[in-house]
Each structure stands twice: as structure tokens, then as C-alpha cells.
């Protein structure tokens, strides 16, 4: 049923997705911005490229003209019965040869510059994309529409390189036509008009089909993302284990096939129609060419023009037809590409909602009073449900607070609000009596160290994986090693063939995979790298064995000494380290107090604690 609805959506894209001819032409306004990016990428290569193309555009006319002179000279020489002087002929042939060689060299130069400039441009845009993505809010990343935009923008970084050569070739061809037109107009201006009439239908046809292709491709962005995802999970080191044990390959491939076939068929129908109409319309161009050719032949036979002029005009006319046809086709391709370019610019123009104030405060050093939640509530933007609500409590400076609650109770959400990864939907959070929003965002992020439950296993060296906790110290090997020592990662790393320079994970050659607990020790070392005032550890020991957990805890007290810390854990051994425990239930604060106080209250916390003590949890 779900598949059905997708098919319907794809076949009849939402009206918002359908781009009219006017919009397509309007998208051309993106080109100057695009060329500014290219110009900024490399001024010298852009200039070199333009110059080469300018020279190249004058060559067809020059070659055709020399060709005409050669033919006229040959005919003149044939008519001479006595001794013939061939010098002029050989000079003409030498010039023609020189032009042919020059043309070849210039072609190679253009291809070279196109490819170098294209690579640089693509690298530059990818960097801009990564840097821009980092400025956006976490909430934006959790939005499917945003993801589609990101996906389309990501595709642009590579495919838009083609657009650059297309536009440059377009300019080149226009200049070539200008040169050829001068020759043709000198003979008969009507020939130019015939040309235009012949190529316009073809141009309109191309534009129409481009618009349809774009609409289809755009409306299929979510499905294409799904296809990419299926391709990834169907053939990846991370999923191979479960795909095999659950025997999922048939399930995944048939799902992929179903979706990709549907796209293939929709696309095929457009491509087919385009091919048929394209052939019909372009034969109009052929008709016009031969009409003009017959006219020129009559003129030649009547002795109005020479045979050399005949070849010159026929050659010019034919070249112009090809060039004009190419320009028209390319024009609609450029307009189409410019539409895609819009996606890239749209993405780069997205602005984060969480922004620093104009005159931001720096985080107090040290924090005096701590953090205060005042009736804080938060709803994820894609959800109607309150993830947390009516949270009011004070986290004292230097206090160790444990968050406890069942799955989905809102623990991680609470700490994300504390780190200002999200903004409260209602209520506010204060730091030393001032709204968190008044503080400098970078400074806040700097003063807060979080190790998430779903920390990232970077497929990089062990050293880099730890340095990520404070990336400015990536060269500080002593600090990295002592952090690893404290989190128990050092003995794990010492066993690796390349020690701290060992690439972790299986994705790259020579990478070594670690066990879940070993990864956690490495990730935990990040917390020791950062000199943060507030430390948040979300399930820091969930994958550790009992002995490692005990040892980590002994060192934790050193880590959190003098700092404010929030610990999220389902293990009561961790929880007991805290000064106070905050018990959350369905996003609401239910109990708050020390371990002893909560046991004495004999409420939910006491109930869970007793269950775990008896070995049920
Ligand atoms: N990105 C998200 N988008 C929408 N809803 C979310 C998102 N993240 C969490 N939620 C919802 O918010 C609620 C609280 O989730 P949260 O991750 O804070 O729980 P938790 O207490 O940390 O759970 P656990 O113990 O399982 O880690 C849950 O109902 C969850 O479904």
C-alpha cells in the first residue's frame, strides 16, 4: 500500500515540484553566482580557459576560408595548360595544416583546464558543504525535507562541474557562430533566418523534456535516498553480519528492484518520447540545410559564385546548423542544471535557528551558581508529543547529578537542551541567573563536554579518535596518551599493530576493528581531553565488563573532581556516585534527591533500585 502511494506520488509530482518553463529560465539567474564561485576557485585557470576558447572559436571560419582558397586555387591551376606555380597552393595547405594542429592543441588545453578547474571547484564546494552543515542545528538534520535538500546539494558538488564546461562551450560556440555568420550574411542573410526557423522547434522540444526529467528526479529525491540506503545496507561491512544471519539479501534486493524499476520505467518513458520527438524535430534542421544547399548549388552552376565559395558556404551553413542545434539543446540542459544549482544555493543559504546573540556573554569561569531549569518543555519538531515537560530544578555548580528513568523518559533530550543543541519549546534554562541564550554559543560548546551513548566510531587513527574530544590538541600526544590511560583505552591501543597511529574500524585498508567495550574506552578518552566545566556522560560504561567499569569509575572521580557533571545511566552502581539523582518518567521530573533520600521515599527509584539489586534489571 505504501509502495503504491509512492508510485502515485512519483508519477504525478506535487505541483510545487513541477517547474515551469519560466522557472527554468529564471534559474539561469544562478549562473553569475555559479561563475563567481568558479572565478574564486582559480582566477588564472578561468582566464586561461576563456582565452583558449576565444582563439578556438575563430578557427572554424579561418579553416573554412582557407579551404575555399585552396579549392579555388586548385581549379585555377587545372585551367592553366603551361607551367604551373604551386607555391601559393603549398602555402595555403601549410596554413591549413597549422590551423588543424593548433585546433588540436587548444582542444587538449581546454579539456585539461576544464578538468583541473572542475576538480578544484568540486573540492571547494564539498568543503563549503561540510562547513555549512556544521553551522546548522541538530534539529535541522532530523528533518526529512532538510535531508532531501542536503542530498540534492551533495549531488551538485560533483555534477555541476559539467555545467561549467557546458556554459563555457556555449559561449565559445556563440562566438564561433558570430564569426561564421559574418561570412554567411555577406552572401545571403536569408540563409541565417532559415537556420533559426529550423532549430527552434527542436529547442522547445528539449526544454519541455528537460523540465519533465527535472520534475521526476526532484519528486523522487526521498525514494533515491531510500535506494542509496538499501544499496548501502545491502552491501556494507556494518550490516553484513545481520544480513547473513537473518537471510535478508533477497528481501533487500527485491525492495531495491521494485523501487528502482519503477523509477527506470518512468524515466524510460520520458527518454523514449524525447528520442522520438528529438529525431522528428531535428530532421527539420536537415531539411532546411538541404534546401539552402540546393539554392547554393544553383548559384554555383549559374556561375554567380565559385566552387570554393560553394564549399565555404555549404561548410559554414552546416557548421552553423550543428552549432545552433547544439546551443539550443545545451541551453535547455544548462537551464535544467541551473535548476539543480538552485538546490545547492538553497542549502548554502539555510540558516540555523539557534544563533548567538549580538552581544554574547562569555561563560563564567568558574560557573558560580549552576544551571536552572524553569518549567522547561521540549517537543521534537516532527512530533506532537512532549519529550520533556514542566522540568524545574537547579543543577548546582560542582554538583554530580545522575539522570535515571526508563527508555524514552527524556534523559538524552534533557542533556541536549543543557548543551543548547536544541532550544526549549517552552520555559527557559538559566546559567548563573542568565538565560542560556544570552551566552556565546561556541564558548558554551567549549565549556560543555558530552560523550553520547551513540558516540561516533570515527574510521580514523586511535589518536585522532581521542583528539576529537578537543581537536585543537590533535598534536598533543602526551595529553592524548594520558587521556587514553585514564579511560583504560591505553592498554587496548598498545596491543594494536600501529599503536596510536592505528586506523580503527574496517572501512579502510589496514583498519583494525575493536570490540564494543574497547570502542567505548576510546570514546571515553575524549572526555579527558577537554577541560570543560560541565561534563555530560550518557551511558558511559554500558559496554564495559564489570572489572573495567569498576576501574573506570575509580578514575571518573578524578575526571569530575571540581566539575559539574551529569551522568545518565541505567546502572545503579554509576548512579550512586552522584550527589543527587533526578528520576524522570515520561518526560516529567518525578523524584529528585540523594540515593539515600530517594530510597527513604520508597518511590519509583527505590522500586527500580531494589529490582536491580535482586538481579532483575
Ligand atoms: N530526534 C528525535 N525526533 C523525534 N523524537 C525523538 C527524537 N529523539 C528522541 N525522541 C523521542 O523523545 C522521547 C525521549 O527520548 P530520549 O532519547 O530523551 O530518551 P532517553 O530517556 O534518553 O531514552 P534511553 O534510555 O532509551 O536512551 C522518546 O519518546 C523519543 O521517542
**Is pLDDT at 494 greater than 90 in this prediction?**
yes
- The pick from 412, 415, 450 for probing ligand 1's pocket by mutation, whose C-beta has the most ligand atoms within 8 angstroms, reads 412
**Mean pLDDT of the 358-370 span:** 87
Residue-wise pLDDT for 243-293, tens only, equals: 888 888 888 889 999 999 998 998 899 889 988 988 888 787 778 778 888
Q: 409 C-alpha vs ligand 1 centroid, how far in Å?
A: 7
pLDDT for the residue 8? 33
Residue-wise pLDDT for 367-404, tens only, equals: 888 899 999 999 988 788 899 999 999 999 888 898 98
Confidence of residue 109 (pLDDT cuts 50, 70, 90): very high
Average pLDDT, the chain: 83
Confidence of residue 10 (pLDDT cuts 50, 70, 90): very low
Looking at domain 40-349, its CATH architecture is Up-down Bundle (1.20)
Confidence of residue 160 (pLDDT cuts 50, 70, 90): low
Contact 600, 433 (CB under 8 A): no
Q: Are strands 564-568 and 400-405 parallel, antiparallel or unpaired?
A: parallel
Q: Which atom of ligand 1 is nearest to the CA of 139?
A: 1
% the chain with pLDDT above 90: 22
- Residues near ligand 1 (Cβ within 6 A): 142, 380, 382-383, 387, 405, 407-413, 453
Confidence of residue 18 (pLDDT cuts 50, 70, 90): very low
CATH topology of domain 370-613: Rossmann fold (3.40.50)
Residue-wise pLDDT for 200-228, tens only, equals: 777 778 778 877 877 787 788 778 888 88
**Is pLDDT at 333 greater than 80 in this prediction?**
no
**Mean pLDDT of the 98-127 span:** 90
**Is pLDDT at 4 greater than 60 in this prediction?**
no
pLDDT for the residue 1? 35
Predicted ipTM of the assembly: 0.96
- The pick from 141, 143, 381, 411 for probing ligand 1's pocket by mutation, whose C-beta has the most ligand atoms within 8 angstroms, reads 411
Q: 615 C-alpha vs ligand 1 centroid, how far in Å?
A: 26
Q: How many CA atoms lie within 13 A of 515 on its CB side?
A: 8
Lowest-confidence pick of 342-356, 425-439, 584-598? 342-356
Q: Which atom of ligand 1 is nearest to the CA of 416?
A: 18
Distance CA 117, CA 172 (A): 17
pLDDT for the residue 17? 45
Lowest-confidence pick of 16-20, 249-253, 287-291, 491-495? 16-20
Residue entry with cell 545552433: 324
pLDDT for the residue 574? 73
3 state DSSP class of 565: strand
Whole-number Cα distances in Å, 305 to 290, 310, 314, 525:
18, 7, 12, 87
**Is pLDDT at 341 greater than 70 in this prediction?**
yes
Q: Are strands 534-538 and 564-568 parallel, antiparallel or unpaired?
A: parallel
**Is pLDDT at 159 greater than 70 in this prediction?**
no
**Is pLDDT at 19 greater than 60 in this prediction?**
no
Contact 374, 428 (CB under 8 A): yes
Domain residue ranges of the chain, discontinuous segments joined by +? 40-349, 370-613
- The pick from 386, 387, 450, 567 for probing ligand 1's pocket by mutation, whose C-beta has the most ligand atoms within 8 angstroms, reads 387
pLDDT for the residue 23? 67
Q: 408 C-alpha vs ligand 1 centroid, how far in Å?
A: 5
Q: 522 C-alpha vs ligand 1 centroid, how far in Å?
A: 25
Of residues 28 and 117, the one with the higher pLDDT is: 117
- The pick from 380, 406, 407 for probing ligand 1's pocket by mutation, whose C-beta has the most ligand atoms within 8 angstroms, reads 380
**Is pLDDT at 518 greater than 60 in this prediction?**
yes
pLDDT for the residue 24? 65
Lowest-confidence pick of 18-22, 63-67, 116-120? 18-22
Give me 168's grid cell: 563555457
Q: 29 C-alpha vs ligand 1 centroid, how far in Å?
A: 43
Q: Which atom of ligand 1 is nearest to the CA of 410?
A: 18
**Mean pLDDT of the 234-239 span:** 79
**Is pLDDT at 572 greater than 90 in this prediction?**
no
Q: Over the range 548-575, which residues count as b (16 or more CB within 10 Å of their CB) and which as e?
A: bbeebbeebeebbeebbbbbbbbbbebb
Contact 474, 465 (CB under 8 A): no
Q: 299 C-alpha vs ligand 1 centroid, how far in Å?
A: 84
Contact 61, 319 (CB under 8 A): no
Q: Which atom of ligand 1 is nearest to the CA of 142?
A: 1
Reported pTM: 0.70
φ, ψ of residue 244 in degrees (nearest 5): -70, -50
Amino acid at each position: 500500500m505504501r509502495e503504491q502511494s509512492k508510485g502515485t506520488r512519483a508519477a504525478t509530482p506535487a505541483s510545487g515540484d513541477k517547474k515551469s518553463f519560466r522557472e527554468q529560465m529564471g534559474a539561469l539567474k544562478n549562473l553569475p553566482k555559479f561563475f563567481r564561485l568558479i572565478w574564486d576557485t582559480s582566477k588564472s585557470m578561468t582566464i586561461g580557459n576563456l582565452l583558449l576558447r576565444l582563439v578556438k572559436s575563430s578557427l572554424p571560419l579561418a579553416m573554412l576560408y582557407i579551404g575555399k582558397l585552396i579549392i579555388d586555387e586548385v581549379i585555377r591551376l587545372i585551367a592553366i595548360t603551361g607551367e604551373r606555380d604551386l607555391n601559393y597552393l603549398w602555402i595555403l595547405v601549410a596554413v591549413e595544416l597549422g590551423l588543424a594542429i593548433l585546433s588540436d592543441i587548444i582542444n587538449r588545453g581546454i579539456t585539461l583546464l576544464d578538468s583541473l578547474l572542475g576538480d578544484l571547484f568540486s573540492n571547494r564546494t564539498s568543503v563549503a558543504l561540510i562547513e555549512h552543515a556544521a553551522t546548522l542545528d541538530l534539529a535541522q538534520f532530523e528533518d526529512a525535507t532538510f535531508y532531501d535538500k542536503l542530498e540534492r546539494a551533495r549531488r551538485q558538488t560533483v555534477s555541476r562541474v559539467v555545467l561549467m564546461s557546458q556554459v563555457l562551450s556555449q559561449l565559445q560556440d556563440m562566438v564561433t557562430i558570430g564569426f561564421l555568420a559574418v561570412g554567411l550574411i555577406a552572401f545571403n542573410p536569408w540563409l541565417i533566418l532559415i537556420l533559426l526557423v529550423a532549430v527552434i522547434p527542436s529547442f522547445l522540444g528539449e526544454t519541455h523534456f528537460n523540465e519533465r526529467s527535472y520534475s521526476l528526479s526532484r519528486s523522487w529525491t526521498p525514494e533515491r535516498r531510500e535506494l542509496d540506503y538499501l544499496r548501502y545496507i545491502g552491501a556494507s561491512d556494518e550490516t553484513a553480519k545481520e544480513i547473513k544471519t537473518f537471510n535478508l539479501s533477497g528481501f533487500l534486493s527485491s525492495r531495491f528492484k521494485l523501487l528502482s524499476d519503477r523509477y527506470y520505467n518512468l524515466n524510460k518513458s520520458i527518454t523514449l518520447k524525447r528520442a522520438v520527438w528529438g529525431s522528428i524535430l531535428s530532421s527539420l534542421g536537415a531539411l532546411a540545410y538541404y534546401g539552402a544547399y540546393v539554392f547554393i548549388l544553383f548559384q554555383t552552376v549559374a556561375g554567380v559564385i565559385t566552387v570554393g565559395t560553394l564549399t565555404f558556404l555549404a561548410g559554414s551553413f552546416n557548421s552553423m546548423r550543428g552549432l545552433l542545434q547544439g546551443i539550443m539543446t545545451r541551453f535547455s540542459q544548462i537551464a535544467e542544471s541551473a535548476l539543480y544549482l538552485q538546490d545547492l544555493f538553497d542549502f548554502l543559504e539555510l540558516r540555523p535557528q539557534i544563533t548567538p546573540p549580538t552581544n554574547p556573554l562569555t561563560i563564567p569561569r568558574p560557573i558560580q551558581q549552576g544551571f536552572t531549569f524553569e518549567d522547561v518543555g521540549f517537543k521534537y519538531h516532527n512530533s506532537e508529543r512532549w519529550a520533556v515537560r514542566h522540568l524545574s530544578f537547579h543543577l548546582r555548580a560542582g554538583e554530580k547529578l545522575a539522570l535515571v528513568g526508563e527508555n524514552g523518559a527524556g534523559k538524552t533530550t534533557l542533556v541536549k537542551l543543557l548543551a543548547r543543541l536544541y532550544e526549549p519549546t517552552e520555559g527557559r534554562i538559566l546559567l548563573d541567573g542568565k538565560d542560556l541564550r544570552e551566552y556565546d554559543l561556541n564558548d558554551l560548546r567549549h565549556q560543555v563536554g558530552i560523550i553520547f551513548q551513540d558516540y561516533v566510531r570515527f574510521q580514523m587513527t586511535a589518536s585522532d579518535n581521542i583528539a576529537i574530544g578537543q581537536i585543537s590538541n590533535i598534536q598533543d600526544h602526551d595529553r592524548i596518551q594520558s587521556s587514553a590511560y585514564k579511560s583504560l583505552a591505553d592498554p587496548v591501543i598498545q596491543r594494536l599493530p600501529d599503536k596510536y597511529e592505528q586506523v580503527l574500524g574496517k572501512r579502510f585498508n589496514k583498519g583494525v576493528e575493536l570490540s564494543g567495550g574497547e570502542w567505548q574506552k576510546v570514546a571515553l578518552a575524549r572526555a579527558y581531553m577537554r577541560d570543560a566545566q560541565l561534563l555530560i556522560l550518557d551511558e558511559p560504561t554500558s559496554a564495559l565488563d564489570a572489572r573495567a567499569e569498576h576501574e573506570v569509575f575509580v578514575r571518573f572521580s578524578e575526571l569530575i573532581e571540581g566539575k559539574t557533571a551529569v551522568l545518565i545511566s541505567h546502572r545503579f552502581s554509576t548512579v550512586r556516585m552522584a550527589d543527587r539523582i533526578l528520576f524522570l518518567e515520561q518526560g516529567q521530573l518525578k523524584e529528585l534527591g540523594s540515593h539515600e533520600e530517594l530510597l527513604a521515599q520508597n518511590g519509583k527509584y527505590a522500586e527500580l533500585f531494589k529490582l536491580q539489586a535482586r538481579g532483575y534489571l
